[in-house]
Chain A
Amino acid sequence: MLYREVGQYKTSYAADQALLPILQDRIGIVVILLIAFVGVPLTASDFTLNSVLIPILVFSLAATGLNLLTGYTGLLSLGTGGFMGVGAYACYKLTTYFPQVNIIVLILSSGFFAAAVGIAFGLPSLRIKGFYLAVATLAAQFFLSWCFIRIPWLYNYNISASIEVPTKTLFGLAVTGPTATSVTRYLIVLTIVAVLTLIAANLVRGRTGRTWMAVRDMDLAAELIGIRLYQTKLLSFAVSSFYCGVAGAMLVFLYLGNAEPSSFDINQSFLILFMVIIGGLGSLLGSFLGAALIWGLPILLRHAPAFFGLSIESAKVDQSTFMILGVLIIFFLVVEPQGLARLWQIGKQKLRMWPFPY
């Protein structure tokens, strides 16, 4: 009743092909953006911003990157952690060499380094398909993890092999380093994520996205109708690694403040893969939902006993978190194998008919 496109007439092709053709969708997005940009900084606590919202946004960007590669192009990749690390270390070296350049420019440029590495490790993708490609990306992950430890130039020959983020300012406000407030960091992360998601949404709507989806559905047929497989797959690796690289740079510079080589190991890759699968392969909304669930759930579980007034020792809580996470992953996969985004789609479909059953 409230959510319909009846009565909304389009009078030009451009209007018909708009990103959000339904008025209610547009109002909804504006409301969400208002809440995100204005409401949250005014009302949220430091803890919520620092430990919940910023990492969820950063991981959703990485999940978007992986979703572009695995969900839209069908190339299973287990190297996400490594690509994020490339972005982070590239940004760190860029700040070392160009200390006066704007930090946002540096974060975005580090994505290009990650894209280059992504292309290098995507080269086997023409010969190798499916699960075997995952093993090739696993090789990339382990090799990059090894590089982060064994190439001292990357972390400026620091003895502990970790990198510390220098304080950078933007318009006079500190945005990175220990003095930056969580509100400033949150707003910067939100802006970068919003802009890059808009770009991704337009990419998948257009010709590029359609070639990717054709390659995913059946690459032999795609090649037959004239799609250049190699270029498409490499472009997918490049764009996906760009997003992962930017996410990695933001993870270190705007969330953690420092990084060790183990911050970008195989567990990180699995974490992002979880987010993508639970959220929904092939759906940008799914990246956000998956990131929110996978990141937010352990935090919820950790604080649940205190909320209910029970006192359980923290080690047992951690282990129970693992168990509950495992059970929930299986549960979500059984209930809706196509992910949370599909649940949302079903919900929207029901919303169109509401209050009628069909």
Chain B
Amino acid sequence: MHLLYEIFIDPFVQMGAAPDLLVQTLWDGLVSGVLYALIALGFVLIFKASGVFNFAQGIMVVFAALTLVGLYQHGVPAYVALALTIVVMLVLAVGVERLILRPLVDQPEIILFMATFGLTYFLIGLGELIFGGDPKVMIASQLGLPSGSYRITMAHGYVQLQKIDIAAAIIASLMVAGLGILFNRTRIGRALRAVADSHRAALSVGISLEQIWVIVWFAAGVVALATGIMWGARSDVSFALEIIALKALPVLILGGLTSIPGAIVGGLIIGVGEKIGDFYWGPLVGGGIESWFAYVIALVFLLFRPQGLFGERIIERL
């Protein structure tokens, strides 16, 4: 009886008693949701165009951030380092297309998924070899990103909003808007959507699959760079970031594997759900449930709507 009260009534009582804490938790959830959404965006881009679930997206985030910071530490000015990192991501995209995607054309998805595993290990080793394994500080202020926070007093307390988080939200929305324009208004975007629909049909109307794949992996690389900058600005750049990329999976499930707005919405829902769940229901089971709560949310969602909020319906045919 008491247990039922603790699960269903008490958390809401707590929410009402301290609304400033609730708003703070909501804001923190939205912030981490934006960052999850950015990672999920990279996954969606590559999955839409090449049908590959790019497990290496997480390590690409870390690698991009490391390259940026590493270049800066060697004396390259901040914006030049940024441009050089973008070039590095382009080289990486070309390399991946040449050495992994082209030889493995037409193989089952699981094989391509495993190939991205190999890519992950390769990038981990390369990153550690070149840049070293110790955590690094992201050059946020040198890139023009704000620091400090706003404090809003409300109810009986106050809510603290970090300026960098607001900047992250703005940059994420700009990126989504940019990608939306790319996909819907340009010729390349049309070609990307065609390739996402069917590789063979796209080939038969003359779209170069190889070029499209390079473009899409490059776009994912740029998204990874932006994600790396944002994540790194909040906490240091280290290889632990790579495991956080696994958090993008529930986001993708929720939003649908092939939908950009789905990645955003899914990210926000998972971020908020995770933080609120951990804060109000976590103490009941001993805390630290952030590691699996997102997956449970995604699992429950899967049982009712397997294709996610915005994904394409899965139709099975005999």
Q: Does B111 contact A (CB under 8 A)?
A: yes
Of A7-15, A93-101, A123-131, A243-251, the segment with at least 4 beta carbons within 8 Å of chain B is A123-131
| Contact between chains at A321 and B302 (CB < 8 Å) | no
In angstroms, Cα B245 to Cα A270, docked, is: 15
Q: Does A330 contact B (CB under 8 A)?
A: yes
Question: Within the complex, which residue of A129, A281, A322, A330 is in contact with B115, where a contact is CB–CB below 8 Å?
Answer: A330
Residues of chain A within 8 A (CB-CB) of B120 are 326
Question: Main SS of chain B's interface residues?
Answer: helix
In angstroms, Cα B303 to Cα A312, docked, is: 52
| Contact between chains at A330 and B122 (CB < 8 Å) | yes
Question: Within the complex, which residue of B110, B285, B295, B306 is in contact with A128, where a contact is CB–CB below 8 Å?
Answer: B306
| Contact between chains at B122 and A132 (CB < 8 Å) | no
Contact of A319 with B302 at beta-carbon distance under 8 Å, contacts A221-B318, A329-B115 already known: no
| Contact between chains at B250 and A135 (CB < 8 Å) | yes
| Nearest A-chain residue to B127, judged by Cβ | A319
| Contact between chains at A326 and B302 (CB < 8 Å) | no
| Contact between chains at B53 and A326 (CB < 8 Å) | no
The contact sample of 14 A-B pairs, CB cut-off 8 A, is A127-B306, A131-B109, A135-B250, A138-B249, A139-B296, A143-B296, A150-B286, A274-B114, A324-B125, A326-B120, A328-B118, A333-B115, A334-B104, A337-B111
In angstroms, Cα B159 to Cα A42, docked, is: 71
Residues of chain A within 8 A (CB-CB) of B318 are 218, 220-221, 224
Contact of A320 with B125 at beta-carbon distance under 8 Å, contacts A270-B117, A330-B99 already known: yes
Cβ-Cβ contact count across A and B, 8 Å cutoff = 126
Residues of chain A within 8 A (CB-CB) of B316 are 220
In angstroms, Cα B291 to Cα A116, docked, is: 23
Within 8 A of A (CB), among B260-291: 285-289, 291
Q: Does A240 contact B (CB under 8 A)?
A: no
Expressed in whole angstroms, the minimum distance between the Cβ of B240 and any Cβ of chain A is: 13
Q: Does B126 contact A (CB under 8 A)?
A: yes
In angstroms, Cα B122 to Cα A324, docked, is: 7
List 14 additional contacts besides A139-B295, A150-B287, A333-B107; criterion CB under 8 Å.
A124-B303, A135-B253, A136-B299, A138-B246, A139-B298, A150-B288, A319-B129, A320-B125, A322-B121, A322-B128, A324-B125, A326-B119, A326-B120, A328-B118
Question: Within the complex, which residue of B250, B291, B295, B303 is in contact with A127, where a contact is CB–CB below 8 Å?
Answer: B303
| Contact between chains at A329 and B302 (CB < 8 Å) | no
Binding site for B on A (CB under 8 A): 76, 124, 127-129, 131-132, 135-136, 138-139, 142-143, 145-146, 149-150, 218, 220-221, 224, 266, 270, 273-274, 277, 281, 316, 319-330, 333-334, 337
| Contact between chains at A135 and B118 (CB < 8 Å) | no
Question: Main SS of chain A's interface residues?
Answer: helix
Contact of A132 with B302 at beta-carbon distance under 8 Å, contacts A266-B246, A323-B125 already known: yes
| Nearest A-chain residue to B249, judged by Cβ | A135
| Nearest B-chain residue to A132, judged by Cβ | B302
Residues of chain A within 8 A (CB-CB) of B188 are none
Expressed in whole angstroms, the minimum distance between the Cβ of A224 and any Cβ of chain B is: 8
Q: Does B103 contact A (CB under 8 A)?
A: yes
| Contact between chains at A322 and B303 (CB < 8 Å) | no
Contact of A127 with B121 at beta-carbon distance under 8 Å, contacts A146-B288, A323-B126 already known: no
